[in-house]
Structure 1
Amino acid sequence: MSQRRHHTQAVAAAKAGISERSARRIDKNPQLPSQKKRERHWRTRPDPLEPIWPRVEELLKIPGILSVTIFETLQDEFGEAAVPDGVRRTLERRIARWRALNGGEKEIFFPQHHEIGRQGLLDFTVADDLHVTIAGQRFDHRLFHFRLASSGWEDSAVVLGGESFTALSEHLQDALWKLGGAPAELRSDSLSAAYKNLDADAQRDFTRNYEALCRHYGMTPTRNNKGVAHENGSIEAPNGHLKRRLDQALRRRGSRDFASIEDYRRFIDQELAKQNRRRARLVDDERRVLKTLPPKRTTDFTLVSADVTRNSTISVDRITYSVPSRLIGYRLHAHLYDDRVEFFLGPDQVMTADRVRVKHAERGHNIDFRHFIGNLKRKPQALRYLVYRNALFPTHAYTRAWQALDAALDARQACRDMVALLDIAAKGNCVDALALRIEAALDRGKLPNVAKLKSEFLPTVRSRVEVTIPPPDFAGYNHLLANAQVL
């Protein structure tokens, strides 16, 4: 166009490198060809959705219905000839456009500003997809997760059972005391899983205990609306981040197997400590405005009282625990923690046992054979039809030993030999070592040799040698004094 101002049309066209014909067209209308395209208001082919679109609009009134559901419904009603698979994408685009132009309001996510020290959040998350094993055994578990909304400081703990007030109270208090303060507000979801198997009275107790826990630390409890997880987004999304970090750490470690639960807990603590160190400056700023902790913790267990039966057992939360026979007839107070049960006689702790969990309405056992071995030695025949006989055996090797002895020997001798094996394990404190010897014998097709095992693990104590020490002869001292030379 600049050449045309100073030259003829032919010269300007030559300088611009175009034909004179193109130059004449540009002189008449300087618009580009793409700008001259006329808008089309007619179809070039029939609309395949026109006959069925009224039905589509009816289906769109159903809340939450998906495009694929509408497509399948149309095929069911009109047949695949009228609604072939090839129109599915056309239908989905048409529905998306209709919803943009005529659909209802969508939910808006409002970003929130988190004031330092104001809010802490807690949640439980299932961690089975980490595929952790303990001593080679699959370990299904949950993680309790606590996090400060502002600085991002977080703590996590292994939960062996489900969501419960005991687990919440114990691990929340652990987190607060690690942090060194408490936020003004404690945010949680509706805790529906914790209420799931509770009756009305137990649900009221849970709510009352939770409110008392928050009151003890000066925190205001708040909850998001049930089923609206994004309202708790400051902990829901970090749940996924936490499990991804642990998964990556397990990959770096090269193994997902741990010798014990304590080793796994230490692993989690180490990973979270590294993450919290990266936020040290923000955490320090938030710690300055946190509420001061009370002088001591509040209750972080569930209290159950029960009598010890004449069977030397006590029933707590549908689980039968064995106790030393000296406690028969006494009433014990059981403190139920997430992973253990502590038994008290008055103010004195008399025993601790691993907490056993069973499915709802089932019953279980936690039997320590050491509590019964003294009585079984006097009454070995009681073993044969003992109700919790299988739970009595400390490992599978002892179960195999009983099965082999019971099959090969008469009832009386089988019971005597089995009790003798348990006695060796108890006195020698050698449950695992003895189990290896038992399995080795059984693998060879032989019965355990009780006498040989007893001599190996319980060596006979030699009789005491009597040593006679004569009284000192004082005459010898007088002789030394008489012949002593003065230096």
Structure 2
Amino acid sequence: MPGRHVTDHQMRLFMKLRQEHTTEIAAAKASISRATAFRIKQDPQLPSQKTKPRERRRPDPLAHIFDAEVVPLLKAAPGIRAVAVFEEMLRRHPELSEGVRRTMERRIRSWRAIHGGEQEVIFRQIHEPGRLGLSDFTNMNEIGITIAGQPLDHLLYHFRLAYSGFEHAHVVLGGESFVALAEGLQNALWFLGGTPLYHRSDSLSAAFRNLDADAKEDLTRRYADLCAHYQMTPTRNNKGIAHENGSIESPHGHLKNAIRDALLMRGASDFDDLDAYRGFIDEIVSRRNARYGKRIDAERAQLQPLPGRRTSDFEEVVVRVSSSGGFTLRKVFYTVPSRLIGHRLRVRMFDDRLDVFIGGTHLMSLRRGRGHASGKHDQVVDYRHVIHSLRKKPMALLQLVYRDKLFPRQEYRRAFEILLDRLSDKQACKITVELLALAHDRGCERELAERLRKILDAGDLPDIAELRTLFAPDPARLPTVNVHLASLNGYEALIDAHQVGDAA
């Protein structure tokens, strides 16, 4: 073929074939031209025997420094990068050209192949159906998800079966924790309909950080109890050895890429609420699982049966309601109805909510807050819990610690700021508190907010009397209905008459 050199194999093949075929046929079978065939007949020496060793076309630019300086550096610091060695040589020898970087990198790579230390070997494993499930968390902040325009700081809990590739993902609002692991793992197992023999996770370093020895032991025990409830043997990969969790570490990237692609096709990364975003993640994971439907069905048959019920996926603490009308938990202040002041409450902490109990009675569920990374406390406030007391002391609103969290919607905060700017502090606080009370008493929080937006956009101030008339009826003006209960003597007479009739 033109432009290609004849190899020793082609030449040997031609010499063998020409003993039984003509020169033209033997050349064709050896994939060489007729002219080359006649040239080979004249000179039967193999091509490799004719090749002269290639000599350098220019002086070796590293000859005077590689053995003398580079090699000692590689021996002293085996893990050093080739680019760092090159930069050091440039510093020592300014006359070196930038163009020898690749030459030095190739020379270092060749030296390490012969004289370098041993490297870690990754041992590929055979995965059996129903044997191993893996859990891990991955940070999703780089995706840029927003909820109603506000950035969502969150992780994604990711569960995967090593054999079939079944996946489950769960949005985690806090950091890596036992509560998040327990909730996400149990959701995955109950959706799957069975449990594997082994469950592997990383060391959950974030969950153990800043914990004392007793807390770490308690967390380890709770994780062991969780796995025992589902008849799974808990295992962990060695700290810092990510490839031991490779069956889920690599799918992290694939799942994130699928989410990015779906967001691009969706045309926006903003969602109306958290439930909408969670539904979006569930849909993507379901599509990915559909590709492995047959393998997943085959593995389901090998899974262990589920227990009769779920186990706890929460952390329970006891708090006391202070005179401020709430309690502080994990650097977050939560308001509760003032009738609970002085009471001790049991709080079950889930990843996204708190369930509040007094004794064995469930009182309410609260959105879970998170303390700031800087150490600053946060507040989760419901104005309905404190509005009755605030009406008695409206000036308390002016310097209230959690004032910004008290307003249920942006329109109420905007109204307060404009009132402060145009009226006295006392009038502004009184009108704002009455607006909140009106929203609570008449159950018109959204409608009142829309009305306030129109009033403020027009440059006017809200008129409480007019708004009360607009959102009538006033509960104080509702007619009183008196119900007169019948005397029980009439029922007694009916019973006696019925008994007399039966006797007759």
The TM-score normalised by the length of structure 1 is 0.86
Tell me the equivalent position of 2:233: 220
Tell me the equivalent position of 2:379: 365
1:386 aligns with 2:400: yes
When the two chains are superposed, the root-mean-square deviation of aligned CA atoms in Å is 2.7
1:71 aligns with 2:67: no
1:401 aligns with 2:423: no
Kindly state the Cα deviation for residue 17 of structure 1 after the two structures are TM-superposed: 8.1
Cα deviation 1:211-258 (Å, max 9, x = unaligned): 111111111111111111111110011111111222222233333222
Question: How far apart in 2 are the matches of 1:463 and 1:17?
Answer: 113
Which has the higher mean CA deviation after the structures are superposed, 140-149 or 401-410?
401-410
| Cα pair 1:424 1:458 within 8 Å, conserved | no
Tell me the equivalent position of 2:220: 207
1:372 is paired with a residue of what secondary structure? helix
1:156 is paired with a residue of what secondary structure? strand
Which has the higher mean CA deviation after the structures are superposed, 332-341 or 134-143?
134-143
Kindly state the Cα deviation for residue 385 of structure 1 after the two structures are TM-superposed: 2.9
Tell me the equivalent position of 1:474: none
Q: Which amino acid aligns with 1:456?
A: L
2:345 is paired with a residue of what secondary structure? strand
Q: Which amino acid aligns with 2:322?
A: T
1:173 is paired with a residue of what secondary structure? helix
Tell me the equivalent position of 2:284: 271
Give aligned pairs, total: 452
Cα deviation 1:403-462 (Å, max 9, x = unaligned): 222232233322221111001111232323322322332333322222222222233477
**Cα 1:206/1:63, change in 2 over 3 Å:** farther
1:341 is aligned, of 322, 343, 354, to 354
Q: Which amino acid aligns with 2:447?
A: A
Cα deviation 1:281-304 (Å, max 9, x = unaligned): 222222222222222111111111
Question: How far apart in 2 are the matches of 1:224 and 1:318?
Answer: 32
1:117 is aligned, of 118, 130, 140, to 130
Percent identity, aligned pairs only, is: 49
Kindly state the Cα deviation for residue 28 of structure 1 after the two structures are TM-superposed: 6.5
Tell me the equivalent position of 2:452: 438
1:47 aligns with 2:63: no
| Cα pair 2:201 2:236 within 8 Å, conserved | yes
**Cα 1:148/1:44, change in 2 over 3 Å:** closer
Tell me the equivalent position of 1:238: 251
Question: How far apart in 1 are the matches of 2:65 and 2:297?
Answer: 64
| Cα pair 1:316 1:334 within 8 Å, conserved | no
Question: How far apart in 2 are the matches of 1:63 and 1:441?
Answer: 72
Tell me the equivalent position of 2:118: 105
1:414 is aligned, of 406, 420, 428, to 428
Kindly state the Cα deviation for residue 94 of structure 1 after the two structures are TM-superposed: 1.1
**Cα 1:44/1:366, change in 2 over 3 Å:** closer
Question: How far apart in 2 are the matches of 1:225 and 1:286?
Answer: 27
| Cα pair 1:123 1:189 within 8 Å, conserved | yes
Q: Which amino acid aligns with 2:115?
A: N
Q: Which amino acid aligns with 1:359?
A: H
Question: How far apart in 2 are the matches of 1:17 and 1:234?
Answer: 56
Q: Which amino acid aligns with 1:433?
A: E
Q: Which amino acid aligns with 1:442?
A: L
Kindly state the Cα deviation for residue 204 of structure 1 after the two structures are TM-superposed: 2.3
Ranges in structure 1 where 5+ consecutive residues have no aligned partner: 6-15, 467-487
The TM-score normalised by the length of structure 2 is 0.83
Q: Which amino acid aligns with 1:194?
A: A
| Cα pair 2:372 2:378 within 8 Å, conserved | no
Kindly state the Cα deviation for residue 319 of structure 1 after the two structures are TM-superposed: 0.8
Question: How far apart in 2 are the matches of 1:408 and 1:26?
Answer: 104
Question: How far apart in 1 are the matches of 2:71 and 2:107?
Answer: 11
| Cα pair 2:78 2:116 within 8 Å, conserved | no
2:52 is aligned, of 25, 28, 38, to 38
Q: Which amino acid aligns with 1:93?
A: R
Question: How far apart in 1 are the matches of 2:311 and 2:480?
Answer: 58
Ranges in structure 2 where 5+ consecutive residues have no aligned partner: 1-13, 20-32, 482-504
Which has the higher mean CA deviation after the structures are superposed, 262-271 or 327-336?
262-271
Q: Which amino acid aligns with 2:88?
A: T
